[in-house]
Structure 1
Amino acid sequence: MDVNHSGTDDAVKGMLAKLSTLWKTRAAVNQPQPDYWGLAFDANKNDFSHSLLPFRNHQAWLEAPKDLQSKCMSYAWGIYNLKTIYIECNVVVPACEDIIKTPPQSHNRALLQDVMSQALLDEALHTRMSIMACNYIYDMRQLTPLDFSAFNLVTWREALLANCTAEWERRLTRFGIACASETLITDYLKTMAEDSTIQSVCHEVTRTHAMDEWSHSSVFSFVATDIVNGLTRKERLYLRSIILRTVQMFANNEMGAWARVFDMLGLPNGNEILHDVGDNNEISVYTDSLEALVNRIGLAGNGLESAEQAVEQLRERASA
């Protein structure tokens, strides 16, 4: 049975209109860009935040030669940017295109197309920024660029879509993964955006990206709220399950990419690190944002279990 959310329609319309109007001044990458490449390069600074390394406390890593540690930190920047590129191109852009090409039945149809077309432009600029930032570090460090494509979130999404049996499932899968990703990325970016100890160009590029993703989190949330208003209970349960499952893939350590890096560098005891660390990162970094998202877009209550219950079940599955 559908739940009538007409009381929220005006509020959603107002926020979508506001986000659309503010886009020209809100979108950081849509402004004249600072000369990032003119920033001083400090060879003694790390190119990535050490606290985000999945193996930062592993004894084999702590005992690795300093020059190899430095190169690994540079490749961490490469992995982060390459994964960002794949998420922007393969996850977020298709969700934007769905809304632009065939918007849902809604009083806010034109506004949905407008804000998603703005987000689409932002993502194209983020992709370009990530390519440039990644290659800049490779050039300055004289490193062979990493060639890797099997990022877990992307491959999991492809498998999930292949198993969908209806078009509504495919659309909600594409949108749910993108919506969750645009929310969860803000937690990840926050660390580097506030870490002034890393390479200046890495800090500034990440800070610019973070500014836009904080806004995109709002855009996708209000678009999601509008979409959820028109869903059946079955569809809402499905969308919520996709969003909850996305956090496990988003928190993946991407050890496949690290295996490639360790092999390229000949890191001593690299296989030991890969074996001991495994794929699953600590999802608690993201659960507060996830819980807030589920509540905010209307996927809790009204016959559905609470966001707190859903997230607790997620934690239990992750620790099992």
Structure 2
Amino acid sequence: MHTDDIVESSHVKDTLKKLSLLWRDRAMVNKGPIDHTSIAFDPEMPDFAESLLPFSSHPRWLDADPELKKNVLSYAWAIYNLKTVYIECDVVTPACEDLIKSPVGSANARYELQQVMAEALLDEALHTKMSVSACNYIYAHRKLKPVDYANFNLVTWRSRLLAQCSSEWERRLTRFAIACASETLITDYLKTLSDDASIQPLCREVTRSHAIDEWGHSSVFSVAADHIVGSLSQSERCYFAGVVPQTVEMFADNEMGAWSAVFAHMEFPHREEIVHDSQKIGQIKVYRDSVMTLLDKLGLPVRPDWSG
């Protein structure tokens, strides 16, 4: 190993150690049993921020019955949490498991990489539990029938991409690149909901708890990427650089398939028109700064059309 490689490996090892120490104090899973469902329910408060709906400015939505709109906001909370469950279980967990079972990169930081990924896996399990409980809390208090939906675009796109991989290294790198981009991104969902005093207290608190962990995961996956990408060949680095921006675009998708299912379930008036008109407008704002910084740090190309 070259001297520069030894220094870099030592830096990664020390950074991962520090992140693991921070996790002990920061992570919600270390705060003891968390029961957000004990938070008092306020029937007059909406369960989601209307500004985050992809169709919030659509004329048909603006003219809709207020009671119907209130129920739509409850289902918006359900869609958000259901998508969170799928991302945690189907996107992030497999990438963590890959690195726990078979760490890549310098052997000098092997244990530290396994440690932070095992800690992230604990966090993801708690996030899944929080999302399931928060979803059912709203369903129960609003007396709404749950809607099941599985075809979230980020998850189905990932499955298609993995099916096209021609080797195991490509599949592993694909799993990591998608998880890395997903964990490094912060969306306006987390920023808006965790700070919005006008929505249901439970919804705000669950999102705030999730955000605390995700800000930590952004650092963990960034350092892990720095460690892993440094050991890749040029072709592997180029492949990684291609998958990350695609993930960002899929993360920002409006998920109108999920909305179509909800509207049909509710028999919402003019639902076909709303869905058709909202396919591409007002997509989820994704704060790309952290991803752009990561790609730049790794010496990988940053898309010129990304303005952050």
Which category of TM-score, normalised to the shorter sequence, fits these structures? Answer: over 0.9
* Structure 2 counterpart of 1:13: 13
Could you state the TM-score of these two structures normalised by the residue count of structure 1? 0.90
* Structure 1 counterpart of 2:219: 218
Q: Over residues 167-197 of structure 1, what are the superposed CA-to-partner deviations in whole Å (9 max), with x where a residue is unaligned?
A: 1111110000001101124553111111111
2:87 is the counterpart of 1:90: no
Report the Cα offset of residue 29 of structure 1: 3.1
Report the Cα offset of residue 9 of structure 1: 2.6
* Structure 1 counterpart of 2:201: 200
Structure 2 matches for 1:55-74, cutoff 5 A? 55-74=55-74
Report the Cα offset of residue 299 of structure 1: 3.7
Structure 2 matches for 1:255-294, cutoff 5 A? 255-279=256-280, 281-282=282-283, 285-294=286-295
Could you state the TM-score of these two structures normalised by the residue count of structure 2? 0.93
Between the aligned partners of 1:280 and 1:9, the Cα distance in structure 2 is: 44
Q: 1:284 to 1:262 in 2, by over 3 A?
A: closer
Between the aligned partners of 1:102 and 1:158, the Cα distance in structure 2 is: 22
2:52 is the counterpart of 1:52: yes
* Structure 2 counterpart of 1:38: 38
Q: 1:160 to 1:247 in 2, by over 3 A?
A: same
* Structure 1 counterpart of 2:245: 244
The letter of the residue matching 2:182 is S
For the 8 Å contact 2:23–2:216, the answer to whether it is kept is no
* Structure 2 counterpart of 1:101: 101
Between the aligned partners of 1:239 and 1:201, the Cα distance in structure 2 is: 38
For the 8 Å contact 1:46–1:199, the answer to whether it is kept is yes
* Structure 2 counterpart of 1:125: 126
For the 8 Å contact 1:15–1:222, the answer to whether it is kept is yes
Q: Over residues 13-70 of structure 1, what are the superposed CA-to-partner deviations in whole Å (9 max), with x where a residue is unaligned?
A: 1110011122221102331245422322111111011121111110111011001100
- Match of 1:263, SS? helix
Q: Over residues 133-155 of structure 1, what are the superposed CA-to-partner deviations in whole Å (9 max), with x where a residue is unaligned?
A: 00000000000011110000000
Between the aligned partners of 1:121 and 1:195, the Cα distance in structure 2 is: 27
* Structure 2 counterpart of 1:155: 156
Between the aligned partners of 2:90 and 2:114, the Cα distance in structure 1 is: 19
Q: 1:229 to 1:167 in 2, by over 3 A?
A: same
For the 8 Å contact 1:228–1:299, the answer to whether it is kept is no
Is 109-118 or 188-197 further displaced after alignment? 188-197
Query: Identity over aligned residues, as a percent?
Result: 54
Between the aligned partners of 1:280 and 1:231, the Cα distance in structure 2 is: 38
Report the Cα offset of residue 235 of structure 1: 0.9
* Structure 1 counterpart of 2:255: 254
Q: Over residues 88-118 of structure 1, what are the superposed CA-to-partner deviations in whole Å (9 max), with x where a residue is unaligned?
A: 0000000000001111141211111110011
Between the aligned partners of 1:187 and 1:290, the Cα distance in structure 2 is: 15
Between the aligned partners of 1:163 and 1:117, the Cα distance in structure 2 is: 28
The letter of the residue matching 2:87 is I
* Structure 1 counterpart of 2:81: 81
Report the Cα offset of residue 5 of structure 1: 5.4
Aligned residues: 303
Report the Cα offset of residue 11 of structure 1: 2.2
Q: 1:5 to 1:46 in 2, by over 3 A?
A: farther
2:193 is the counterpart of 1:189: no
Q: What root-mean-square deviation, in Å, do the aligned CA atoms of Structure 1 and Structure 2 show?
A: 1.7
Q: Is there any run of 5+ residues in structure 2 with no aligned partner, and where?
A: none
* Structure 1 counterpart of 2:210: 209
Between the aligned partners of 1:295 and 1:89, the Cα distance in structure 2 is: 29
Between the aligned partners of 1:170 and 1:108, the Cα distance in structure 2 is: 23
For the 8 Å contact 2:10–2:109, the answer to whether it is kept is no
Between the aligned partners of 1:187 and 1:226, the Cα distance in structure 2 is: 29
* Structure 2 counterpart of 1:318: none
Between the aligned partners of 1:278 and 1:132, the Cα distance in structure 2 is: 29
Between the aligned partners of 2:100 and 2:264, the Cα distance in structure 1 is: 42
Between the aligned partners of 1:30 and 1:274, the Cα distance in structure 2 is: 42
Is 51-60 or 8-17 further displaced after alignment? 8-17
For the 8 Å contact 1:179–1:224, the answer to whether it is kept is yes
* Structure 1 counterpart of 2:229: 228
Q: 1:283 to 1:202 in 2, by over 3 A?
A: closer
